Structure 1
Amino acid sequence: MSDGARSIAVHGLLLAALAAGAFLLPDYHHGVLARVMVLSIYAAGYNILFGYTGLLSLGHALFFAAGMYGMGLAITQYGAGPGAALLAGLIAGIAVAAALGLLALRTTGVAFMIVTLMFAQAGYLTILYFAPLTHGDEGFVLQGAQRLLFGFDLSEAGLRYWAALILFAAVLIGVLLLVRSRFGRVLVAIRENEERARMLGYDTFAHKLGAVVISGGIAALAGAAYGLLFGYVGATFASVQYSIFPLLWVLLGGAGTVIGPFLGTLFMFYLIDLSSGYTSAYMLIAGVVLVALTLFAPQGLAGEVRRRIWRGLP
């Protein structure tokens, strides 16, 4: 079996397993997996910039929050329907990503990381400053009637699971096609040796800007979907911890792999969920496990599979 066919089979099996979970898993796991799928979309967007392009960002919460607030405010302030609100959130995230990319890409390395962090903090403070509109730290709740998409109530657990799965499948397939395309291969070339990619005639700035915009757009889509599916929009999602989370999930799952962001998000969620059932010191257990993974699987779960078993894993 060729690498392409094997890749399609592996990712297809993942989607089939998640679809089967809608019928086999209890309601509690429906809720957990719906969150995992939406947040792994966020991590997948981050992975395009970090895992495939080699740019370390600490500002992705800005894009996630832009999508979430673009969606939420479109519904509450302008009476938009869920479909139009999702589109508004996506456009907001793309616009913010393009603006940030044009400025932040004038820097490199640690400076890029610091600039993205500063912009994200500025976005967080802006949300707090305009509290009469954004409701600040308290955030605001979207009512069930505001979450009807084509007649389907997204506040219902079963429909929410399927909506999350459909969106996750679309993003997973899109990212898989992207990284196997000419554009995706140029991003990998930039990650490995930007100067050599430039010498070969590629416009590395344009490609990196494209990576920032695509990464920010996917993160914004995840933010808009999260707010719509779970009915809450709040400033917490713009805080620095939500810029660190996708980095952690990608590192755990395997940077530069399509399936890695999902595996990392799933592993982190259930590690905390299971350990909290045994002790109040669950973060200590999570920390020990994460340190062990860092030591014995430094390339992440999918990264170790690629290193040890299948080098063609995308």
Structure 2
Amino acid sequence: MSRRDLTLHLGLVAVLFLLHFILPAYHHGVLARIMVMAVYAIGYNIAFGYTGLLSLGHAMFFGAGLYGMGLAGLHYGVPAFPAFLIGTACGAALAFVVGLLALRTEGVSFMIVTLMFSQVAYLALLYFGAFTHGDDGFVVPDASRTLMGLSLSDEGTRYLVAWVLFSGALLGSLWLIRQPFGRVLIALRENEERARLLGYDTKRRKLAALVISGAVSAASGAAYAALFGYVGATFAGVQYSIFALLWVLLGGAGTVLGPFVGTLFMFYLIDLATGLTDAYMLIAGVALVGLTLFAPQGIVGELRRRFWKDLP
């Protein structure tokens, strides 16, 4: 890992920390939400951007973390941090099981299989509505939203916890990609057959990448439940898998900063368009089409192509 790479990413972490003290209340809350959802995008980027696993089912991992944390607090009164760990472990375990089956396929088949698994998970949440509360969702109890005596519903605490989670995911992603394991993942994305000929166990590496991706995505879901206090089946729907794909593509698949930039761009694009017209999705759609046409590698991907060739 070069000093320049580390300085750039630590610089972003420092800027986000300073914004905690100067942002107005509305943007303070929006940025906290963006950081949590950017962690979800970072998890997706590990599977898709770096390993080449195009999944349409990542919402099930986010939902596993969300429900793992929320249900542990609602039904069993588990405190915030242990409930967060339970949610993250649920996502990792689900990713392992799904990976064992889905990685028997490749390409479009893998995409379809993950979509089907995601739909099964979503329908299961609805079917067991007596336990999960289905589409109605539920509010996480206050007792499970307290960390070291601090209420996670407090705006300042919420922002700082989201910042800690995002910083860990961002720097952890940077470290992972600069390790030999991360280099192998990139090799799998570029030419899996060649990587196999070099002696790498490609299926085992892809399974490991999917489990890591699922765990990071689940950590985002668990944090969302803890910080914003609501759990609902909508978050496990296919649209949230598409959101993750969209954020990564907009920011730049296969870049460490891309998931955050894409999430930030999409959140504020829709927010600004909503203030102009009821047809805000039309404005968002036109802007996204334009970005796709003129920056096909995403915002950070284009910066890497034009100005910083070795940007991770």
TM-score range, shorter chain: over 0.9
Structure 1 Cα separation of the partners of residues 76 and 287 of structure 2? 46
**Structure 2 residue identity aligned to 1:140:** F
| Contact map agreement 2:253 2:297 (CA 8 A) in 1 | yes
Give the corresponding residue for 2:18: 20
- The unaligned stretches of length 5 or more in structure 2 are none
Give the corresponding residue for 2:250: 252
What is the CA-CA distance between 1:12 and the residue it aligns to? 1.1
Give the corresponding residue for 1:179: 177
**Structure 2 residue identity aligned to 1:69:** Y
Give the corresponding residue for 2:207: 209
**Structure 2 residue identity aligned to 1:167:** L
Give the corresponding residue for 1:67: 65
| Pairing partner for 1:41 from 14, 39, 42 | 39
Find runs of 4+ consecutive structure 1 residues off by over 2 angstroms. 143-146
Q: Does 1:286 align with 2:284?
A: yes
> Residues 140-219 of structure 1: matches in 2 within 5 Å?
140-219=138-217
What is the CA-CA distance between 1:287 and the residue it aligns to? 0.5
Give the corresponding residue for 1:32: 30
| Contact map agreement 2:59 2:118 (CA 8 A) in 1 | yes
What is the CA-CA distance between 1:279 and the residue it aligns to? 1.2
What is the CA-CA distance between 1:146 and the residue it aligns to? 2.6
| Contact map agreement 2:79 2:143 (CA 8 A) in 1 | no
What is the CA-CA distance between 1:145 and the residue it aligns to? 3.3
Structure 1 Cα separation of the partners of residues 141 and 123 of structure 2? 26
Q: Taking structure 1 as reference, are residues 45 and 86 closer, same or farther at Cα in structure 2, changes over 3 Å only?
A: same
Q: State the Cα RMSD in Å.
A: 0.8
What is the CA-CA distance between 1:30 and the residue it aligns to? 1.1
Give the corresponding residue for 2:79: 81
Structure 2 Cα separation of the partners of residues 78 and 262 of structure 1? 34
- The unaligned stretches of length 5 or more in structure 1 are none
**Structure 2 residue identity aligned to 1:277:** G
| Pairing partner for 2:88 from 87, 90, 96 | 90
- TM-score normalised by L of structure 2: 0.99
What is the CA-CA distance between 1:275 and the residue it aligns to? 1.3
**Structure 2 residue identity aligned to 1:131:** G
Q: Which moved more, 1:81-90 or 1:275-284?
A: 275-284
- TM-score normalised by L of structure 1: 0.98
What is the CA-CA distance between 1:147 and the residue it aligns to? 0.5
**Structure 2 residue identity aligned to 1:137:** D
Structure 2 Cα separation of the partners of residues 312 and 298 of structure 1? 18
Match of 1:106, SS state, is coil
| Contact map agreement 2:77 2:143 (CA 8 A) in 1 | no
**Structure 2 residue identity aligned to 1:57:** S
| Pairing partner for 2:232 from 210, 215, 234 | 234
What is the CA-CA distance between 1:242 and the residue it aligns to? 0.6
Sequence identity (%):
65
Give the corresponding residue for 2:101: 103
What is the CA-CA distance between 1:27 and the residue it aligns to? 0.8
Match of 1:137, SS state, is helix
